[in-house]
Structure 1
Amino acid sequence: MHSPPIIAIIDDNQSVRESMTDLLEVLGFSPTSYASAFDFLASPSLAHTDCLLLDLSMPGMNGVELNAELSRRSFAMPVVFMTGHAQEAIISEAKSAGTCLFKPFGGEELKAAIEFAIKK
Structure 2
Amino acid sequence: MQVQHAGRLVAIVDDDNSVRTAVGGLLRSVGVPAEVFASAEDFLRSAKMDQVSCLVVDANMPNMSGLDLHQTLRGRGNSIPTVVITAYPSDNVRARAQQSGVHCLLTKPFNEDELLGAIRNALARAGR
Do both share a fold (TM > 0.5)? yes
Secondary structure of the structure 2 residue equivalent to 1:44: coil
Aligned mate of 2:41, from 29, 38, 41:
38
5+ residue gaps in structure 2?
A: none
Please say if residues 12 and 34 of structure 2, whose CA atoms lie closer than 8 Å, have aligned partners that are also in contact: yes
* Matched-pair identity in %: 34
TM-score normalized with structure 2 length: 0.86
5+ residue gaps in structure 1?
A: none
Residue 20, structure 1, aligned to residue 26, structure 2: no
Aligned mate of 1:117, from 114, 122, 127:
122
Equivalences for residues 1-120 of structure 1 within 5 A: 3-96=6-99, 97=101, 98-120=103-125
- RMSD after superposition: 1.7
Give the Å deviation of 1:27: 2.2
| In structure 1, distance between residues paired with 2:106 and 2:42 | 22
Name the structure, 1 or 2, with higher relative contact order (CA <8 Å, separation 6+): 2
| Equivalent position amino acid for 2:124 in 1 | K
Deviates more, 1:96-105 or 1:17-26: 96-105
Give the Å deviation of 1:116: 1.3
| Equivalent position amino acid for 2:60 in 1 | S
Question: Number of matched residues?
Answer: 120
Give the Å deviation of 1:86: 4.2
